[in-house]
Structure 1
Amino acid sequence: MFVPFLKRLAVLTIVAHISFFAYIALGSLYVKWANPSMSMFMCVRSHFDLNNVITPKFIPKESIPNDLQTAIVGLDDPSFKTHIGYSQKSAPNTKTISQKVARTMFLFPHNNNLGSYLETLAAVEMECILDKNRILELYLNYSEWGDNIYGVGEAADYYYKKDIHNLSRRQKLKLASVLAKPLEVDPSTYDKNKIVEARFNLLNKLMD
């Protein structure tokens, strides 16, 4: 009885993986050319009440200030340009930008090993389909910057009532810093969280 059970389990595992890879491949091909009005992460965060989801203000990567891009990549994933979706050099429980994009676009919010496993598989597959510039563009435009605030363009407008190109250096650094804990602090309260405050101080020192 035990051996047939293992065989069935093996078959189910293989079928589940194939289905998952197909889902990620189709999703990656879609976002390679299209800018969806919302992501899977956004749908779940809204409890699938899609009428309450604010469509991100999509800004092409080349139109986002380079210093803001540098600050975000430098804090969130310094090896972004060289890894293949995940990085063994990352600190424990630290996700790459590619893993975060895979979770945001295709998966549910999670805090468990299965979610992390699927996130890593999705990130590696996604990197085979999308180039780094597109992955970073998706990250900047669909990341969570607060409750129902998605994308750097929406964040600049919500917190500072400014176009992203009119942000001061300090405002850019605060936006980059709070991306670590977007539901706990915002740019006006960044110093209430030690991790976010440390991110800001590091950026302020490095980009001085």
Structure 2
Amino acid sequence: MNPFLRWALYLVVGFFIFSILSVAVHRFVPVPVTILMLQRLAEGEGLDHRWVSAGDISPHLKAAVVAAEDAKFCTHSGFDFEAIEKAQTYNATHRKKRGASTISQQTAKNVFLWPSRSWVRKGFEVYYTGLIEVMWPKDRILEVYLNSVEWGPGVYGAESASRYWFGKSAKDLTRAEAARLAAILPSPRKWKAAKSGKYVQKRSGKIQAAARTFQNGGIDLCAAD
């Protein structure tokens, strides 16, 4: 075999082994740091990241985040194809683009990949999303997402976000506070969960109403308990 092809084969096989092992490990082991955290740290921001178990995160926050970010989280297999189709239709005629990433996709991106909008990164995101959907239960995906997502300047994860914005633990969040945190996820470095502007207040009100539907049993929220 050509030496170049041999090394290329080694790299491909090595990547598949590494990726599967890393996903398997984080099925049980907390994610200590992500590439985005290190990038922000290099840019001069702090790093406040405190991992807590799913049982130490308020059910209100779980419901609010699912309601805001991915209402079909419990029923899809990693991708919401209806949302993708709607986003493509919208983006074809609008300058400001609309995303359609599920919580599973965002978890794959946050934990295993680098922040960018390239097609290469998107391809890896699809691959890792498939892996975690196969290897992790839904409650683990949500637990990792809530512990890794950016929630403010240098603030990552539900526990740090709760303390940063409201001065309390994530397990003690009220419905209103949880909705405020969910409301700022699209732009956590621009919007404020505490002392919010009118847009965040209005958005959080809608999220709180939708989250009640999940918690009241209107929709089977697989990862709320």
- Consecutive unaligned residues in structure 1, runs of 5 or more: 1-7
Partner of residue 138, structure 1: 144
| Matching residue's letter, 1:205 | A
Q: Percent identity?
A: 26
Paired with 2:30 and 2:56, the residues of 1 have a C-alpha distance of 15
Residue by residue over 1:94-153, the C-alpha shift from the partner in whole angstroms, topping out at 9 and shown as x without a partner, is 211111111111100012222222111110112111111111100011110011100011
Partner of residue 73, structure 2: 80
Once structures 1 and 2 are overlaid, which stretch shifts more, 121-130 or 22-31? 22-31
Paired with 2:50 and 2:112, the residues of 1 have a C-alpha distance of 19
Normalised to the residue count of structure 2, the TM-score between the two structures is 0.75
In structure 2, the CA distance between the partners of 1:64 and 1:25, relative to structure 1 (3 Å rule), is same
Q: Is residue 2:18 matched to residue 1:23?
A: yes
Give the Å deviation of 1:173: 0.9
Give the Å deviation of 1:52: 5.1
Give the Å deviation of 1:46: 2.3
Matches within 5 A, 1:1-208: 18-47=13-42, 53-54=47-48, 56-91=49-84, 92=87, 93-188=99-194, 190-191=196-197, 194=199, 196=200, 199-206=203-210, 207=212
In structure 2, the CA distance between the partners of 1:120 and 1:189, relative to structure 1 (3 Å rule), is farther
Q: CA RMSD in A?
A: 2.7
Paired with 1:127 and 1:74, the residues of 2 have a C-alpha distance of 19
Paired with 1:20 and 1:197, the residues of 2 have a C-alpha distance of 44
Contact 1:42–1:104 (8 Å) recurs in 2: no
Paired with 2:132 and 2:23, the residues of 1 have a C-alpha distance of 6
| Matching residue's letter, 1:37 | P
Normalised to the residue count of structure 1, the TM-score between the two structures is 0.81
Contact 2:27–2:136 (8 Å) recurs in 1: yes
- Consecutive unaligned residues in structure 2, runs of 5 or more: 88-98, 214-225
